[in-house]
A and B are shown apart, each in its own frame.
Chain A
Amino acid sequence: MNQRTQGGLSSIGFYNIEASIDRPIAESYKSEEQTRSAYIMTSLGYKDTYFVDGSFRRDISSTLPKDNNAYNYSSISGSFVFSNLIESPVLNFGKLRASYAVAGSSVPPYSSLMNYEIGTVYKGATGSINTLFVPDVLNNPALKPSFANSFEIGTDLKFFKSRLGLDFTYYQQRNKDQVIGLSSSVATGYSSFRVNAGDIENSGIELSLTAIPVQTSNFSWTTTLNGAKNNSKIHELIPGIDAYQLDNNTYSSQTVYLYANKGAAFGSLVGPGYKRDEATGKILLDNANLPIQELNKDFGSVIPEFTGGFINSFRYKNIDFNAMIDFQSGGKFFSWSKMLAVKSGQAAETAALNSNGKNVRDPLADGGGFEINGISEATGQEVNAFIDARTYFRNQIGTRIYEEWLYDASYIKLREVSLGYTFNQDQLGKTPFKSIRIAAIARNPWMIWQKAPKGIDPSELSAGSANISWIEKGELQTVRSYGFNLSVKF
């Protein structure tokens, strides 16, 4: 239920819906759904070496079409601690695990029903005219439940009395008939269709290596290196549509899209860029020597090649020191804030000196202007010319050339460092405390290396409405914080 006044209040200080000057807004919303489920699971173990878990579930959902509203799904997983069967001085623990699970899910309430929407009321002189409209999203009376089929296989190994450990996992998830809002050609009369998207795959590996290279009574060093790589791919959407728009961002009538196209890498950025000379790759210029825009250029994938972390902990007597490093390789992103900094003339390059030693903002007649190099589209000749800086930065590259604001998100970052001292029971004597640890902590102390220019933080990108990071749009800067931590155990 939602009511509010419109056009202001008819009497100052009288806060009531009835005091609305124009027809007040009054809306109510109700949503009901019901799911009936039955579930069985079993967990079996044999000799602490072989383990099998299984489950089966049946759901009946009120939100699915009447004649197709029940669905079953199940899972099975097993593990095998093979180290129990072998005697090895090197390997002290070894486990192999595998699982296959199907998870079924229903659809949002009423999404399989065809309905109209209530529109604005026109309060004419001869009476009110109520209006209706066809919704922008096309519901689907043939919706089916969706199933996520995931397969995972992995191993956990521990060597040398657990001084060295290795965990490895490979996973593959295939989402069959996943219910998505698939943006459509608006000429269909709808902006998107609610569909069961055929087959979307998500797969990858995760690797973690842990070692304790030094361990004495006074000193120990523990180190962990982990990495992950994820791939997503669309095998099938719906017949006739191969492009799945994950997200988009429009500013000043220019739009950059994030697409997942059938058969191509997931998360490709598409937007306006330079029109280039095919032979040389140089940018093409118009008669005013301004870059020419080409729409719908594929800028590449936002998906990183791999991500990971490197954690080290040192302990000497009562003192401990920990450092955590994050890293990422590859993956593009679009920096909106960099573009706006240039467009609005706040970026340093908009007030740099040109090859004449003049500020680019100075009039062309005085030797100012931005020096541009490219190929004239009209003549095919190479051009080197000075152009008005405002036209270039504000109206051209800061508005229409998104290609200029793409960066590689690779980075290595020291995420957290802490130095602590622990008072043990001997020192604490008869106090009621078991132990007290006091530590100094620094978070985000150092971006060790990043490929993107300084001032843009590739480790804190935004995902917009998609579930992968692809855009930087003036997020609150990461805060470097220093602090103390006191932990007391009783």
Chain B
Amino acid sequence: MRKHNIFRYLWLAICPIAILSSCTKFADSYYEDPNRPSKASGTQLIANAQMYLSSVSSSAYGVHYPQYLSLTTYTDNTRFIATNLNFSTWYIGPLMNLESVLQNEKELNANEGPVANQIAVAKILKAFFLWHVTDRWGDIPMSEAFKGIDLPNPKYDRQEDIYNALFILLDEANNSVVSANGNIKNDIIYKGNMAQWKKLGNSIHMLMALRLSKVNPEKGKAEFIKAMNAGIMTSNNDNLSYPHLAEAANENFWYNSFTVQKRNWYALSEVLVNHMLPYNDPRLSVYGDKNSSGSYAGLEFGKLVPNPDVDIPKISLFGSTIRKQDSPVHLITYPQLLFAQAEAAKLGWISGGDGQAKTFYEDAIKQSIAQWTGGTSNVATYLANADITYDANKAIEQIATQRWIHLFPYGYEGWAEWRRTGFPNLTVASDINGGQVPRREGYPTQEASNNKINYEAAVKAFPYGGTDGLNTRVWWDKP
């Protein structure tokens, strides 16, 4: 009898289950996230990637490798305490946005400008960001990167292969730009002007080519000439500069540091001021502020015991005119291209020899002063300094030193060019990083667990040996 009862109840329960098994449909609204869009505009993804441009320069680490800035208060970053830095910002930030554009070409909307031009801009920016990443870390994931869970362990590509792939990417971008009615929408940098994008792509291409001067000058020369002939920047109006705004959401990093967070941490380094002050460099008053006695002075680099209360009144803090809320951040600039051509002429990559090199060198300095100060009236006086006047016997050093001054405060670029040329002479105390100026940044420590096999293979394959840290050379930095 008892058993019988149970079955009766069981049936009562099983009935609704039988009914339910056919009810697996829900309203469509459950399959649409009301908080986030499922379709993207290509130019809006590109615009978001552009927002990362200023961080390529505005970095609390990069500014210290070429010793542009010293620290007044917490000096760890000038003592290179952090040996391994994370490249996640670039991979999951701008590069993934650009990949999303490139992988979904068919879904791009031509109402936002020719699809070919959207793709070309995405390629140019992808090349720029990957160039930045490879110059910092060396061999990095590229060919197997950005594939999500389909390829959870992307291998590290050799830097040489990355350079070659980026040259091709930039060629493709240069060749595919459509000029007629070509403007694209949502462009923070050039307001849609494709002629300027095209010049930027070729300018990046040319500067990348110069990086090969030590390791593969033949290839470097060929790519250099190809890019130059394809059309590079022709004035400071073409510069790749990130236009910050006078609002909290898009403000300058240094404004945030000094004015919002009230951190008077960053001062011109002693070595920088020593290369500018004796020659009345007109850029010095822009780069730094006067100290309490009305003159310019650099701060010792990498102090063991900081003493901000005593030091700050004596030295030049990072210049207040370039750390306003909307101060732009300069990346690829016309003067840097002129310096590159000066060097190429001196190296014999392009014709003209010393005469041509001198012309480019003087024009580069003039355009640099124009970019930073807005005028050129004091250029002639500056060029007349004996050490500044072009000297064929130490032309490479002069060009490199002037480029180093010009690139301030774009530390990662200044550092790359220092690593390549060795000028100006930079040293650190013996208790900082074993007495060595860093030559590379270590891989993110997560990679040793998340991507173990490929990480270990990359470390083992360092082109000139060494361990994963600050003192190993990347491929183009041939000893």
A interface residue numbers (CB < 8 A to B)? 6-7, 21-23, 28-34, 36-40, 42, 44, 56, 58, 60, 62-63, 66, 69-70, 109-110, 113-124, 126, 129-136, 138, 140, 183-191, 193, 195, 238, 240-243, 245, 252-255, 257, 259, 261, 270, 272, 286-288, 290, 293, 295-296, 388, 390-391, 395, 399-400
Contacts and interface: CB of A to CB of B under 8 A. Distances in A.
B250 A132 contact: no
A188 B186 CA distance: 27
Given A184-B152, A270-B449, A58 B17 contact: yes
Given A132-B44, A134-B96, A257-B446, A252 B81 contact: yes
Nearest to B28: A66
Contacts of A259: 449
B249 A120 contact: yes
Interface residues of B, number: 87
Interface stretch (B34-42, B215-223, B278-286): B34-42
A119 B444 contact: no
14 contacts: A7-B247, A32-B30, A62-B30, A110-B35, A116-B36, A130-B44, A185-B152, A187-B91, A188-B146, A188-B152, A190-B149, A253-B82, A255-B445, A290-B431
A395 B79 contact: yes
Nearest to B82: A253
Given A187-B447, A253-B84, 17 more contacts: A22-B247, A28-B35, A34-B30, A60-B24, A62-B30, A116-B36, A129-B187, A132-B37, A134-B45, A187-B141, A188-B145, A189-B99, A193-B148, A241-B153, A257-B445, A270-B449, A288-B434
B309 interface: no
A30 B34 contact: yes
A122 B24 contact: no
Interface string B4-35: 00100110011011001101101001111111
Contacts of A30: 34-35
Interface of B: 6, 9-10, 13-14, 16-17, 20-21, 23-24, 26, 29-41, 44-45, 47-48, 51, 76, 79, 81-88, 91-93, 95-97, 99-100, 140-141, 144-149, 151-154, 186-188, 191, 243, 245, 247-250, 304-305, 430-431, 434-435, 442, 444-452, 468
Interface centre among B23, B87, B434, by most A CB within 10 Å? B434
A123 B31 contact: no
Contacts of B14: 40
Nearest to A139: B33
Contacts of A124: 188, 191, 243, 245
Contact of A114 (B38, B141, B451): B38
A121 B186 CA distance: 11
A122 B149 CA distance: 32
Minimum-distance CB pairs A-B, first 9: A253-B82, A40-B13, A187-B141, A185-B451, A131-B48, A186-B88, A115-B36, A189-B96, A22-B247
Nearest to B141: A187
A252 B23 contact: no
Contacts of B13: 38-40
A289 B186 CA distance: 55
Contact of A186 (B23, B35, B44, B87): B87
